[in-house]
Structure 1
Amino acid sequence: MALDTLKTRRRHDYRFQLEYRTRWSDNDMYHHLNNSIYYFLFDSVVNTYLIQHCSLHPPTSSQIGLVVHSHCDYLAPIEFPAVVDLALRVNKLGKSSVTYEIGVFERGHEEVKAVGEFVHVFVDRESRKPEKRGMSDELKQGLGRLLVDKAKL
């Protein structure tokens, strides 16, 4: 995705949002959110959505999502204390995989501060291989509600 395109992202470009209140310990020695915190946030918004809207129950689900790719484009810093809105959408939905995009917005600011990509492949818990049928119907339907029109990518 072109960086110029990502810089234009706004909250309305995403279909699910989750609030996070930063903690003092989230800051690094340069007094902004540490890079690792962004990945913690990506994991949190994705898994919150999967649990709340896709009938995923991680301790007992027969299918689990393995992260096979992730990256982040940092556009502007965030520092404690701040409230951030994590905004989630699905850019690609395959038979066993999903590509999420996460926008990180600071409350009170319209410009996106970071945009991340996170790819899950859903596999059988035991074999760690994708099932022939692909992901469960509940997962596919729930994730489908976040799928954006390819023309808007």
Structure 2
Amino acid sequence: MALAALKSRRRDEYKFELEYRTRWSDNDMYHHVNNSIYYFLFDSVVNTYLINHCSLHPPTSSQIGLVVHSHCDYLAPIEFPAVVDLALRVNKLGKSSVTYEIGVFERGQVEVKAVGEFVHVFVDRDSRKPGADGMAASLKDGLSSILVDKAKL
């Protein structure tokens, strides 16, 4: 995706938000949120959505999501203390896989600070293979509600 398109992302292009209050320990020696923290945040917003809106219960679900791809475009720094809004949408929904996009916005600012991509493949817990029917209906239904129109990609 073109960097200019990512830089122009706005909150209203996402369908779910989760607040995160930065911690002192999130900063690195350059006094901004460390790159590894962004991946922690991506995992948190995705799994919060799956648990609260897709009926996923990780300890007992027969299907689990394996991350097969992730990346982040860092557009501007965030530093402690800050409140950030993690904005989530689904860009692509397949039979067993889902591609999420996460926009990281600092509270009170319009510009997106980072845009991440996270791909899950839902597989059988024991075999680690996708099921013949793909992901569970409750997952697909919940993810469909945050799927964006392809024209907005």
Bin for the TM-score computed over the shorter chain: over 0.9
Runs of 4+ that moved beyond 4 A: none
CA drift of 1:107 comes to 0.3
Q: Distance in 2 between the 1:13 and 1:151 partners?
A: 12
Quick one: distance in 2 between partners of 1:26 and 1:9? 24
C-alpha RMSD over aligned residues: 0.2
In the TM superposition, 1:126-137 aligns within 5 A as 126-137=126-137
Map residues 76-91 of structure 1 onto 2, 5 A cutoff.
76-91=76-91
In structure 2, what is the equivalent of residue 147 of structure 1?
147
Identity of aligned residues (%): 86
- 2:99 maps to 99
In structure 2, the partner of 1:46 is 46
Secondary structure at the aligned position of 2:138 is classed as helix
Q: Partners of 2:108 and 2:27 in 1: how far apart?
A: 19
Partner-residue secondary structure (3-state), 2:131: coil
CA distance in 1 between counterparts of 2:57 and 2:152 reads: 31
TM-score, normalising length: structure 1: 1.00
Q: Which residue number corresponds to residue 73 of structure 2? A: 73
In the alignment, what sits opposite 1:34? 34
Task: Name the SS of the counterpart of 1:59 in structure 2.
Answer: coil
Counterparts of 2:147 and 2:74, CA distance in 1:
23
Find the aligned partners of 1:151 and 1:139 in 2 and give their Cα distance. Answer: 23
Structure 2 length-normalised TM: 1.00
1:4 aligns with 2:10: no
SS of match in other structure, 1:55: coil
* 1:115 has 2:115 as partner: yes
C-alpha distance in 2 between matches for 1:50 and 1:62: 14
